Amino acid sequence: MLGTKHPIVLGPFGGLSSVELVAVVSEAGGLGSYGLYGYAPDRIAETVRALRAATDRPFALNVWLPLESDPGAPTAEFTRAARAVAPLYAAVGATVPTAVPDAVVPAVQEQWDAVLEAAPAAVSCVYGVPTPDMVSRAHARGIAVVGTATTVAEALALEEGGVDAVVATGFEAAGHRVSFLRGPEQSLVGTMALVPQVADAVAVPVIAAGGIADRRGVAAAFALGAAGVQVGTAFLRTRQSAAPESHRAGIPAASAEETVLTRAMSGRLARGIPNRAVQEIEAAGAIAPFPVQNWLTGGFRAAAAQQDRGELLSLWAGQAAPLAREEDARRVFEELLAGVPPRR
């Protein structure tokens, strides 16, 4: 369906995707995926030009859908959140902002239009079901639409919405918990339990995600009924990712029980390695709603990335982080490929 040789998908990283990593995975026969969170249309077009210059193989672009439950940020709430992160801004020699811009993220329809113009092999989305118009327009351009589910109910909603495949992502996965029918705290289903139930419930192909980092996880996913796997943390660990060295080095050093679910860095629940930033924000007890919190912490995180200060970054990592031992994405792909069962 996607035009790939192997059923291995690179997890899209919001803010940590790199053209090089996408190209490596796509050139190896998998589906490289690039996360477009926060990208305006002109930046999307520029990124796609770079991707096409790096590979002529299929790749996917990933878009975040807006949640109706996302509130605004009252002045008092923002003020408390800004006060909580002021020491973190000071640590990188920056000044905490005093006001929120009118538009924190680009409109999703503008992003979708840019993606359709770029015409990747697939567009994947998180945090909801794309509208019928979005799906039909993508299909008209020959673009497959992939949705992401954390529960069986979400997978059924995505299938009804016309998506071509569903990523079933267990709570072991790194980064944001992309639940949209219920709160993420009420949608914490593990990969081993989620994948077979989703595979039984929907007719479209299921891509397993969460806790998969080597051939054993791949083999298990296929045994559970998956048609493919999506892998994030193991690829994020590699030198081809856009993660700073301190982030990449911290992944294999983290134990499975060490990663935590927190709203501290973005305002939405996400899994990562607890560090100074997470601990101080949680201790202050003042977190603005998404996307304001994400924008607010983004100021000191950008400076921390330039300074390679892991204690001030969003250290996204899944529970399989200790298995992410390889530093080269090609080696990771070869290891994952060894777990794919022969085609019948």
Q: Tell me the DSSP string of 223-263.
A: HTT-SEEEE-HHHHTSTTSSS-HHHHHHHHHS-TTT-EEES
| pLDDT recorded at residue 170 | 98
| pLDDT recorded at residue 73 | 58
The pLDDT confidence band at residue 75, using thresholds 50, 70 and 90, is: low
pTM of the model: 0.96
| pLDDT recorded at residue 68 | 77
Sheet holding 228-231, edge to edge: 8-10, 228-231, 206-209, 165-169, 144-149, 122-126, 59-64, 32-35
On the question of pLDDT at 76 being above 90, the answer is no
Check if the beta carbon of residue 14 is closer than 8 Å to that of residue 39: no
Check if the beta carbon of residue 302 is closer than 8 Å to that of residue 253: no
> Residues of 14-51 as b/e, b for ≥16 C-beta within 10 angstroms?
bbbbbbbbbbbbbebebbbbbbbbbbbbeebeebbeeb
| CATH code given to domain 8-69+105-254+320-337 | 3.20.20.70
Alpha-carbon distance of 237 to 317, in angstroms, equals 9
